[in-house]
């Protein structure tokens, strides 16, 4: 099949030849007139040699997203089945016996703008690029063929869709049925997941490896899981022998999930749920006080570059409060999922916070997102999560 051609300006191919999958609108010299957003097209460098086949969007800042660098590759159901199988193979190798993970993490799985989360027999799928939305039917058939899912939910409520001119709509069950609560088993514990009203698609898989890492320091400890959502950090800590866990979140629905999850994981009598502002709870603690281990995992404070200075101040305030709450030997796991706060800014922020809190720390581990959210070396854009495990000295 012949696809229309998109041609880059001279000298704009370097990043793409290095494995990056996007061409930006200001890098494009020639593109077909009147193409629909997300149409399949071929990308060429200015000397006309082939760079890749993928989606062209005439109105998005990301003008081209490469799906394959193989000239004769058709973008059909067989193509998606192959990509899905590759994605599955990796997840099954790193999370064996566990049928819950992010199965497809967009660009990092060579499927730009597609997210698939697997919750056992149920899938939640999101198209964040116009091209993926246009191929919805093929994608669903391929997923269904491989997974035999009992239910697939199509989520169309992510604000990123607006950048591609896609409508924001309520989630829809597109295949089978999905119960109001799904039970999953992970290495972090057993969790109840709400695919309809939950945050993300229902569970923060991206923190799974960081929860395991922190749990290793929690035996016999009193742990604060601040910004707990469904309780991931605290539950992993309890399973690793924590003496007691205090969960705090400002969302009532999140704490209901945490309560249910903590009980299912045998924590009855060993945990407390506090509904409210995590900063207020930390501020009310005596310095060097009640917790041996603190995890802080706030929502993304920097939604855009413009918000960065204010966001960094907010991270600093929160981190200083948490640091002040620890005594010698105490452990802090500090996370930030703001894309715009890069590693360097994150470390700078931690240094400023420590100065403010008048505490000295050593860096035990500098971590990123879990292995089911791999980072593409050629695309720094695929990394967003930072998690530093620090110890007070
Ligand atoms: N740690 C969680 C994910 C956290 S997501 C996990 O491992 O699954 C961020 C959470 O912070 C959300 O649940 C949100 O409800 C909560 N939140 C936002 N602002 C808050 C605040 N000021 N105080 C406490 N919780 C807050």
Determine the pLDDT at residue 169.
Answer: 94
> Residue 208: its pLDDT value, please?
98
In tens, the pLDDT along 54-75 reads 999 999 999 999 999 999 999 9
Tell me what pLDDT residue 199 has: 78
Atom 16 (ligand 1) nearest CA: 227
Pocket test residue of 201, 226, 229, 367 for ligand 1, highest count of atoms within 8 A of CB: 229
Judge if the beta carbon of residue 273 lies within 6 A of ligand 1. no
Please indicate whether residue 277, judged by its CB atom, sits closer than 6 Å to ligand 1: yes
Q: Does the beta carbon of 64 sit less than 6 angstroms from any atom of ligand 1? A: no
For residue 201, what pLDDT is reported? Answer: 85
Q: Residues in the chain with pLDDT < 70?
A: none
Contacts of 353 (CB under 8 A, 6+ apart): 315, 316, 319, 320, 323
In testing the pocket of ligand 1, which one of 215, 249, 261, 273 has its CB within 8 Å of the most ligand atoms? Answer: 249
State residue 200's pLDDT score.
Answer: 82
pLDDT of residue 118: 98
Known catalytic residues are 337
First to last CA, the chain: 64
pLDDT at 1: 74
Q: Whose CA is nearest to atom 3 of ligand 1?
A: 229
Which residue lies with its CA nearest to atom 9 of ligand 1?
299
Residue identifier of the C-alpha nearest atom 12 of ligand 1? 229
What pLDDT, on a 0 to 100 scale, did the predictor assign at position 48? 85
Does ligand 1 lie within 6 Å of residue 204's CB atom? yes
As a whole number of angstroms, the distance between CA 113 and CA 383 comes to: 14
pLDDT given for residue 70 in this prediction: 96
Q: What is the pLDDT of residue 198?
A: 75
Closest residue CA from atom 13 of ligand 1:
229
- CA distances for 299 relative to 102, 249, 354, angstroms: 19, 11, 21
Q: Which atom of ligand 1 is nearest to the CA of 225?
A: 1
> Ligand 1 within 6 A of 251 CB?
yes
Q: How far is the CA of 192 from the centre of ligand 1 (A)?
A: 17
> Is the CB of 254 within 6 Å of ligand 1?
yes
The finding on whether 233 has its CB within 6 A of some atom of ligand 1 is yes
């Amino acid at each position: 099949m012949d696809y229309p051609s998109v041609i880059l300006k001279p000298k704009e191919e370097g990043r793409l030849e290095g494995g990056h999958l996007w061409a930006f609108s200001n890098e494009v010299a020639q593109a077909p007139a009147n193409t629909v957003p997300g149409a399949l097209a071929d990308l060429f460098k200015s000397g006309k040699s082939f760079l890749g086949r993928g989606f062209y969007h005439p109105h998005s800042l990301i003008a081209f997203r490469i799906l394959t660098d193989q000239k004769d590759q058709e973008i059909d159901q067989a193509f998606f089945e192959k990509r899905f199988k590759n994605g599955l193979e990796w997840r099954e190798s790193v999370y064996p016996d566990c049928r819950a993970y992010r199965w497809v993490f967009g660009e990092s799985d060579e499927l730009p703008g597609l997210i698939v989360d697997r919750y056992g027999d149920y899938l939640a799928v999101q198209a964040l690029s116009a091209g993926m939305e246009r191929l919805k039917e093929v994608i669903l058939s391929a997923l269904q063929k491989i997974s035999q899912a009992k239910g697939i939910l199509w989520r169309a409520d992510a604000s990123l869709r607006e950048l591609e001119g896609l409508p924001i709509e309520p989630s829809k069950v597109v295949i089978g049925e999905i119960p109001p609560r799904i039970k999953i088993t992970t290495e972090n514990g057993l969790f109840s997941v709400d695919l309809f009203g939950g945050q993300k698609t229902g569970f923060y898989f991206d923190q799974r490896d960081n929860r395991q890492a922190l749990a290793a320091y929690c035996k016999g400890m009193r742990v604060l899981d601040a910004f707990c959502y469904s309780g991931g950090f605290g539950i992993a800590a309890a399973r690793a022998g924590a003496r007691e866990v205090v969960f705090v979140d400002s969302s009532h629905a999140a704490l209901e999930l945490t309560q249910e999850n903590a009980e299912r994981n045998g924590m009855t009598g060993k945990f407390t749920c506090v509904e409210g502002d995590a900063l207020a709870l930390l501020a009310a603690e005596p310095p060097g006080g009640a917790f041996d281990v603190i995890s802080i995992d706030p929502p993304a404070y920097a939604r855009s570059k413009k918000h960065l200075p204010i966001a960094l101040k907010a991270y600093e305030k929160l981190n200083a409060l948490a640091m002040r709450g620890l005594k010698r030997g105490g452990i802090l796991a500090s996370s930030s999922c703001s894309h715009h706060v890069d590693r360097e800014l994150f470390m700078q922020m931690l240094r400023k916070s420590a100065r403010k809190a008048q505490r000295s720390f050593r860096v035990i581990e500098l971590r990123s997102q879990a292995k089911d959210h791999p980072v593409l070396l050629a695309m720094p854009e695929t990394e967003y999560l930072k998690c530093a495990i620090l110890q007070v000295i």
